[in-house]
Structure 1
Amino acid sequence: MAIEAQGLEIRIGARTLLNPTDFHVAKGDRIGLVGRNGAGKTTLTRVITGTMLPTAGKVRVTGKLGYLPQDTHTGDQEQTAIDRIMSARDINSILTRLRKAEKDMTNPDPDIMEKAMRRYDKAQQDFENAGGYGVQSEAIVMAESLGLDQEVLKRELGTLSGGQRRRIELARILFSDADTMILDEPTNHLDADSIEWLRGYLKKFNGGFLVISHSTELLDEVVNKVWHLDAQLAQIDMYSLGWKAYLHQRAVDEERRRREREVAEKKAERLMKQGIRLHAKATKAVAAQNMMRRAEKLLENTSEAQKKEKVADIRFPEPAPCGRTPIMAKDISRAFGSNIVFAGVNLAIDKGSRVVILGYNGAGKTTTLRLLAGIDKPDTGEVVFGHGAKIGYFAQEHDTLDNDATVLENLTHVAPDLNDTQARSILGSFLFSGDDALKPTRVLSGGEKTRLALATLVTSRANVLLLDEPTNNLDPASREEILKAIAKYEGAIVLVTHDEGAVKALNPERVLLMPDGDEDLWSDDYLDLVAEE
């Protein structure tokens, strides 16, 4: 048994995410963990992996555990991508010794050179005993299967895009030889070919894994069990079924619970009425109290049928007045070290225009948005903001949020004129109610951070929205809400996405193809490139 939980209970403030629960993940278990955004799926994975303490109970892990969190801000930013992947096994420390010895072997001091040569021989022997270049080749092949070419693998983490760093972390976990894996949204930032490769890898994986994913295609192909984290009952409903069978059985279970509830409510109502009549007679007071207690017990012991789950009310703001061209990029370029991401890009964002940016991962899509938002500066050229330009930027890595601040503080930072009641009302429409508003942002799941970042946009009165993968980490209902908001927004939008539905909702006029910076009128022929990036 690789993971075993006993009496595990999780509470955040006054809210109970999980009542005391026992479960295990064994070799061969391929579990899909599902539930609405904010139910506590990411929190549960943090508790299992030991990055967060439970309220009660314990988790025991045997063997090697690999964990892919939603937040990929990990690793030394000066470390190369291939070294980050290799660090999942001990062989990376040997490579570090080899490189240090190689460097010292060029030292003009003969004593230092001689010692370095001896260290090199020892490190080389250790490297070969650990599998040598065959293991390194394995890491490279795995990385290439996830769309990371050898040029990217040579670069430092700090020079890479969020999507590239995310895929490096995924490659690292898959390369780690873990007995059990916990993968939180592993398909984020993957193109269609990489997703197909990942499905095949997970189907053949010999250990056990638990995966959180909004990709029903992935769940349908790879899982043999489904755990539904019920946010209302704070419990895990465990199904030893594949995805389609689970959906059918869950619908059956919900209908049964609804019927049980109706029967219990009718019986409880009769008992209450009898109890009230008996209570009027002094001699029958004890019998009346017993009847009322039986009625209450009936309702307590019957699982409440699922209420319709709340969905975030996402409505982008009415844009503030602005001039004809709120943003203009003139011959902008960006490089990281010797790596030129793009050069000579020109783009005019007119009032109300709708532009989608396409290109392979690492082509500079996110970098372009950051330049347009004024967060970063181009190496050459300039970004000019027109009269009345008011920019709203949604970052795929949620960089605009202060992780050390509370949910409420993040909102009031961007909208200081809001009073507490107004701020809480806006947060409530994005499903942050009561004490949720006082949670530190760092403990939020990816979906919750997405909702909070969108809430900050709502207060901004922006007339240009720069949206970088806005549908990532969202459940289907919340995704539909943001697609409606994109379709209805009257200001300008520049969109980066792998989601074809988001592009269709945008109904773009133009497309900017990166890294070449070629601009073209939109055609549905470009839709094929969206998911293939």
Structure 2
Amino acid sequence: MLIARDLEVRAGARLLLEPVSFQVSPGDKVGLVGRNGAGKTTMTKILAGDSLPAGGEVQRSGQIGYLPQDPRSGDPDELVRDRILGARGLDHILRRMKAAELAMAEATEDDVRDAAMATYAKTETQFLTAGGYAAESEAHRIAANLALPDRVLGQQLKTLSGGQRRRVELARILFSNADTLLLDEPTNHLDADSILWLRGFLQAYSGALLMISHDTALLGATVNKVFHLDANRAVLDIYSMDWKRYLTQRAADEARRKRERQNAERKADQLMAQADKMRAKATKAVAAQNMARRAEKLLAGLDEERQADRVAKIRFPQPAPCGKTPIRGENLSKSYGSLEVFTGVDLAIDKGSQVVILGLNGAGKTTLLRMLAGLEDPDTGEVILGHGARIGYYAQEHETIDVSRTVLENMVSASPDLNNTEVRKILGSFLFTGDDVDKRAGVLSGGEKTRLALAMLVVSAANVLLLDEPTNNLDPASRAEVLNAINTYAGAIVLVTHDEGAVEALEPDRVLLLPDGDEDLWSPEYAELISLA
């Protein structure tokens, strides 16, 4: 359960949310919505206790399960199975049980064996009290429904792709039996079957839930309250209703505010016109002044006129000249320990070509893009850059952004040939204005990081773009801008995505299927694989 009292949210000096009080109780399933950059992620971090509010307080009771947009927690050497079971402390108990088993097997003296047996019995009792084998089976079932099969459970976290790593954290949180779930874009990196399963899980969940999502089908199926963070007014509008009724009510509220503003402005204009006429007569100066005050009061307290939500104007760069084949990969292979990701992959990206990479989660799609970008070495083979090749890489986990630097510093590092004024102008087109450019990149929301990463691509003059899930974390208007940029870019694009609309915008001429590395001409038959990828 969460209780917020006079909660105020700021990003630096910028006010994101005026003081507001609300409660999220067991059974409440809240959709937190608003445009990118409105402050949804910042507010959720505060509710989770990961950040401090600018004012007010948050009271938390019970266990909180928080899924941030960019989870980085956990020991890289930890096994996936232990990471998930650790949500209930079962990983430590199982390790003690296995140690006791080993001690019993190796004991050569009766008293040592008896001590190990006593330790095992005590530990097994703790295990059964914590849910035992049924809980372990539940963890496996949750993992499997999030496309994390048994073979993945035995891997170390450091061997996973970004999408797999995020699904591990989601599985851990869902397994935790937390009293309150705070989920920031939980469907990122999920295939269609996993999204459908998650929908059913959240429908049946009896605790308190607050969720940020651009998946309107998920919101429509699960939420019974909507918190709309209005970026224009810095106000949290609370709707105690389901998603469908919220959409209708929200539209009605916007229309009402517009009518009230227009009526007030019309009456104020009439009063001011009358006051101006009366000022001409000295005997009516006081009356004119009173009339002007009445006009001001009419406008005071009304919501400011709603400005159209700003959308970043995204256009990918005019590609620099290059040879016929700017990048090739020959006999590329990658393994993590005994786990073979892919082997013997060959590909050639010709000038201006459009290629989509498909494969199940964990098939190595991100790993291959990182190889092509020069950020990861293949175990065998090599990546060969052709004449004039300039590579632009968009990473799904935003690894190209230095989180210790400011927005402006990141842009300057990506565009050393541009002066400060030119860089600021481009950042402005991506909605980073004023003090925004001095914010440290580490405090940006997922949507803001996406805009910054795309801005860094725009100034790169790249002739080959490697795009890994470029539409994640984006509201519908921003997503439409990215799709248009993909559609109109004149250079070569290699795309990894779960977004069918992104593939439609790309109009691919070829498809590469992983892990086998089979290459084929694109046909509509491959479209059904996109949401499964």
Q: Deviations over 1:187-227 (max 9, x none)?
A: 11111111111111111111120111101111111111111
**Counterpart in 2 of 1:231?**
231
Residue 517 of structure 1: how far off its partner (Å): 0.5
- TM (norm. structure 2) is 0.96
Look up the equivalent residue of 2:276 and give its one-letter code. I
Match of residue 349 from structure 1:
349
User: Per-residue CA shift, 1:275-306, capped at 9, x if unaligned?
Assistant: 33444555544443333333222222222342
Cα distance in 1 between the residues matched to 2:102 and 2:280: 95
Partner residue, 1:47: 46
Q: Is the 8 A contact 1:258 1:304 kept in 2?
A: no
Q: Deviations over 1:137-162 (max 9, x none)?
A: 11001110111100001101000011
Match of 2:295 in 1: 295
Q: Give the Cα–Cα distance (whole angstroms) in 2 for the partners of residues 395 and 374 of structure 1.
A: 13
Could you say which residue in structure 1 is the equivalent of 2:250?
A: 250
Offset at 1:120? 3.6
Matched, 1:170 2:167: no
Give the deviation of 1:252 after TM superposition: 1.1
Helix, strand or coil at the partner of 2:229 = strand
Q: Counterpart in 2 of 1:461?
A: 461
Residue aligning to 2:274: 274
Please give the alpha-carbon distance, in whole angstroms, between the structure 2 residues aligned to 1:142 and 1:442. Answer: 31
- Could you tell me which amino acid in structure 2 is paired with residue 246 of structure 1? Y
Q: Report the TM-score when normalising by structure 1.
A: 0.96
Report the counterpart of residue 122 of structure 1 in structure 2.
Answer: 122
Alpha-carbon distance in 1 for matches of 2:281, 2:12? 45
Alpha-carbon distance, 1:112 to partner:
8.4
8 Å Cα contact 2:88/2:130 also seen in 1: no
Query: Map of 1:376-455 to 2, 5 A cutoff?
Result: 376-455=376-455
Residues in 2 aligned to 1:478 and 1:471: alpha-carbon distance in whole angstroms: 8
In structure 2, how many angstroms separate the alpha carbons of the residues matched to 1:522 and 1:159?
A: 30
For 1:87, what is the secondary structure of its paired residue? helix
Paired with 1:304 and 1:197, the residues of 2 have a C-alpha distance of 42
Q: 1:505 maps to which residue?
A: 505
More displaced stretch, 298-307 vs 110-119: 110-119
Match of 1:62 in 2: 61
SS at match of 1:345: strand
Q: Distance in 1 between matches of 2:374 and 2:55?
A: 46
Please give the alpha-carbon distance, in whole angstroms, between the structure 2 residues aligned to 1:117 and 1:331.
53
Q: Contact between 1:199 and 1:218, CA under 8 Å: does it hold in 2?
A: yes
Distance 1:108 1:394 in 2: 56
Partner of 1:330: helix, strand, or coil? strand
User: CA–CA distance in 2 between the matches of 1:439 and 1:116?
Assistant: 56
Deviation string for 1:384-419 (max 9, x for gaps)? 111111000000000110111111111111112222
Distance 1:293 1:526, change over 3 A: same
Q: C-alpha distance in 1, partners of 2:288/2:128?
A: 82
1:333 Cα deviation from its structure 2 partner: 0.2
| Separation (CA, whole Å) in 1 of partners of 2:153 and 2:449 | 29
CA distance in 1, matches of 2:116, 2:282: 98
- Establish whether residue 36 from structure 1 lines up as the match of residue 35 from structure 2: yes
The aligned residue for residue 334 of structure 2 is 334
Residues 326-368 of structure 1, C-alpha deviation per residue, up to 9 Å, x if partnerless?
Answer: 1110001001111000000000011111100000000000000
2-structure distance, mates of 1:430, 1:148: 36
For 1:531, what is the secondary structure of its paired residue?
coil
Counterpart mapping for 1:81-120 below 5 A: 81-102=80-101, 118-120=118-120
Report the alpha carbon displacement of residue 106 of structure 1 after superposing the two structures with TM: 7.2
- Please give the alpha-carbon distance, in whole angstroms, between the structure 2 residues aligned to 1:4 and 1:69: 20
Q: Is the 8 A contact 1:320 1:461 kept in 2?
A: yes
Can you give the 5+ residue segments of structure 2 that lack an aligned partner in the other structure? none
CA offset digits 1:452-507 (Å, max 9, x no partner): 00000000000000000000000000000010000100100000000000000000
Worse-matched range after superposition: 106-115 or 71-80:
106-115
Which residue number in structure 1 is paired with residue 24 of structure 2?
25
SS at match of 1:88: helix
Which blocks of at least 5 consecutive residues in structure 1 are unaligned?
none
Aligned to 2:73: 74
Aligned residues: 532
Aligned-partner Cα distance in 1 for 2:197–2:5 = 35
Structure 1 residue 274 displacement after superposition = 3.0
User: After superposition, what is the alpha-carbon deviation per residue over 1:225-245, rounded to whole angstroms, capped at 9, x for unaligned?
Assistant: 111100011111111121121
Deviations 1:112-169 (A, max 9, x none): 8886655444322321222212111110011101111000011010000111111111
